[in-house]
Amino acid sequence: LAKTTQPISMDSYEGQEVNITCSHNNIATNDYITWYQQFPSQGPRFIIQGYKTKVTNEVASLFIPADRKSSTLSLPRVSLSDTAVYYCLVGGNYGGATNKLIFGTGTLLAVQP
Amino acid sequence: GAVVSQHPSRVICKSGTSVKIECRSLDFQATTMFWYRQFPKQSLMLMATSNEGSKATYEQGVEKDKFLINHASLTLSTLTVTSAHPEDSSFYICSARLGASEQFFGPGTRLTVL
């Protein structure tokens, strides 16, 4: 499974757009990129998944350049409730080869008023 | 989305006792469930993959005799921490796979061993 690198933490203010970038230089041809969100003392929650270009859902957008060696999770107009740890996973469908999810360090996003 | 529950949500036990944690998929059948452990301010670490009706597959470094996993039905997997010690205190999270792909996570169980 490809290793991922993310910033340890990020700070933002309410109403701003937040972009979290993940590096995955060793991504394989059949790997997908998946992002999860985790609040303290809760299980992770699926946010978005993509393979290439851009994917958008009601929560976020995922931008993937042509070489797929990185990806950017974009959260529009964040609120205090978006304060959480965000994990980038690379592998087979939904983040892991044969669905075995290997979590990296994640990015702690702190949103301030 | 699909719902996964865990019971108990929090447990405190004495050193040397065994603790059982249940993971249930409430509205779908899961042939595969996964168990993770998460220490404070750290990421989730996969402990084992649990397949219904067969033996669990443990990740390297995880003692299978200490962390007993049983997946007797398509909606229930249990993790038993045997002879628990303070270093086993952690947040244990399960996930259940829906069909061939998406995983849904439980709310976690906070284990504190005194």
Helix ranges (H only) for A1-113 are: none
Looking at the complex, report in whole angstroms how far the Cα of residue A33 sits from the nearest Cα belonging to chain B. Answer: 13
Residue range B65-112, pLDDT digits in tens: 999 999 889 999 999 999 999 999 999 999 998 776 678 999 999 999
In the prediction, which pLDDT does B49 show?
Answer: 92
For residue B5, count other CB atoms closer than 10 A to its CB: 14
Residue range B7-58, pLDDT digits in tens: 999 999 999 999 999 999 998 888 889 999 999 999 999 999 998 888 899 9
Chain B residues with beta carbon closer than 8 angstroms to that of A95:
103
Separation of alpha carbons B4 and A88, rounded Å:
22
In the prediction, which pLDDT does B52 show?
Answer: 84
**Nearest 5 degrees, angle CA A105-CA B68-CA B81?**
70
Separation of alpha carbons A68 and A45, rounded Å:
23
In the prediction, which pLDDT does B16 show?
Answer: 97
3-state SS class at A82: helix
Q: Is the peptide bond before B8 cis (omega within 30 degrees of 0)?
A: yes
CA distances from A107 to A12, B16, B71 (A): 13, 36, 33
Residue from the list A41, A44, A99 with its beta carbon closest to the beta carbon of B105:
A44
